[in-house]
């Protein structure tokens, strides 16, 4: 190979790798591709990079027997759901869930969010469901997707440190000092992009039912996305943080709340990692949460 063709090869490989990263492919988990859109179909396990290479190098290659991952019959039997239909089904499923376990199961089997097809695991919750405080983030990232738990990556570690300063922890055995953690969206969006407005609308009945079933006294909404969705507002986090807001269920199909829940929006830990100077602002929010716990007799 000439040095010129080597350079071209390196450039092409770099472009391909960048394209992978832009599309959320940031980890090699296997040498053979798995099409997660092939719902219910086992992966074609005998196809590897090596035997694809061997096939393409064979002197008289047989025409490749390409199996479509989703057959025409499957597509006809399981049409992709439009947003309106997905929203109706999400509301119905959320309203029907009577326990957290039922809610987890119904989200797991819900086919109305395309992000489910690209994610590895559903991320439902972590911590103590009896805790007085429920933390709601945006959506799982790569670490959360791998482990099936919210806030386990770098921003999750900072979140744990922030709450530990006021004596709260997701691993605390007593509910008083516990935290319960979830996200607006239960599936990782490819490339860690922000959930789209449609995804947020479809996920909203589920997170609202999640709040109703967990019955926290205080919600802590970390970042713009959960704040906008849960408080049904177009205001930004900078204006809304540092103040208490009354939470009302937005999804009309769900039962009304039978207890008062208040919400404190604060900055997302990923924002703090990029802007460490804002840690003092979040510390002010934590002090307000601590004072409210005292006022409500939760300490
Ligand atoms: N960011 C979130 O909003 N949620 C997570 O679970 C992880 C990172």
**Residue 22 belongs to some domain of the structure:** no
Q: 179 alpha carbon to ligand 1 midpoint, in Å? A: 15
pLDDT, tens digit (0-9, with 9 covering 90-100), for 168-222 = 999 998 999 999 999 999 999 999 999 999 999 999 999 999 999 999 999 999 9
151 lines ligand 1 (CB under 6 A): yes
**Residue 151 belongs to some domain of the structure:** yes
99 pLDDT more than 60: yes
The total number of residues written for the chain in this structure:
299
Residues 292 and 299: their CA atoms lie apart, in Å, by 9
Question: Which atom belonging to ligand 1 lies closest to the Cα atom of 181?
Answer: 6
Range of the domain at 230: 75-295
Q: Domain holding 148: CATH number? A: 3.40.470.10
**Residue 120 belongs to some domain of the structure:** yes
**Residue 288 belongs to some domain of the structure:** yes
3 pLDDT more than 50: yes
150 lines ligand 1 (CB under 6 A): yes
Q: 137 alpha carbon to ligand 1 midpoint, in Å? A: 5
**Residue 18 belongs to some domain of the structure:** no
**Residue 10 belongs to some domain of the structure:** no
Sign of CA dihedral 73, 74, 78, 79: negative
Residue 113 has which token pair?
A: 């969010």
**Residue 63 belongs to some domain of the structure:** no
Residues 222 and 286: their CA atoms lie apart, in Å, by 12
Q: How many domains does the chain have?
A: 1
Q: 183 alpha carbon to ligand 1 midpoint, in Å? A: 7
251 lines ligand 1 (CB under 6 A): no
pLDDT of 11 = 58
């Amino acid at each position: 190979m000439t040095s010129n063709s080597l350079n071209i090869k390196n450039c092409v490989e770099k472009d391909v790798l960048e394209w992978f990263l832009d599309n959320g492919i940031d980890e090699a988990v296997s040498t053979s591709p798995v099409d997660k859109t092939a719902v219910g179909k086992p992966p074609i396990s005998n196809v590897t990079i090596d035997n694809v290479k061997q096939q393409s190098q064979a002197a008289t290659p047989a025409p490749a027997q390409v199996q479509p991952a989703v057959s025409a019959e499957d597509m006809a039997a399981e049409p992709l759901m439009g947003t309106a239909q997905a929203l109706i089904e999400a509301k119905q499923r959320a309203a029907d869930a009577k326990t957290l376990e039922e809610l987890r199961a119904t989200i797991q089997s819900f086919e109305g969010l395309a992000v489910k097809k690209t994610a590895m695991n559903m991320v439902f919750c972590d911590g103590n469901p009896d805790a007085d405080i429920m933390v709601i983030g945006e959506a799982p990232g790569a670490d959360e997707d791998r482990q099936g738990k919210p806030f386990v990556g770098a921003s999750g570690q900072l979140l744990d440190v922030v709450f530990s300063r006021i004596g709260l922890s997701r691993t605390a055995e007593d509910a008083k000092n516990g935290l319960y953690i979830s996200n607006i969206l239960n599936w990782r969006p490819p490339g860690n992009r922000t959930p789209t407005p449609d995804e947020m609308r479809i996920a909203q009945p589920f997170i609202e039912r999640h709040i109703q079933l967990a019955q926290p006294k205080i919600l802590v909404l970390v970042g713009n996305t959960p704040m906008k969705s849960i408080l049904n507002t177009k205001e930004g986090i900078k204006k809304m943080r540092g103040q208490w807001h009354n939470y009302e269920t937005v999804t009309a199909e769900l039962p009304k709340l039978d207890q008062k829940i208040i919400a404190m929006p604060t900055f997302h830990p990923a924002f703090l990692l990029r802007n460490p100077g804002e840690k003092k602002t979040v510390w002010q929010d934590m002090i307000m949460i601590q004072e409210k716990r005292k006022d409500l007799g939760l300490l």
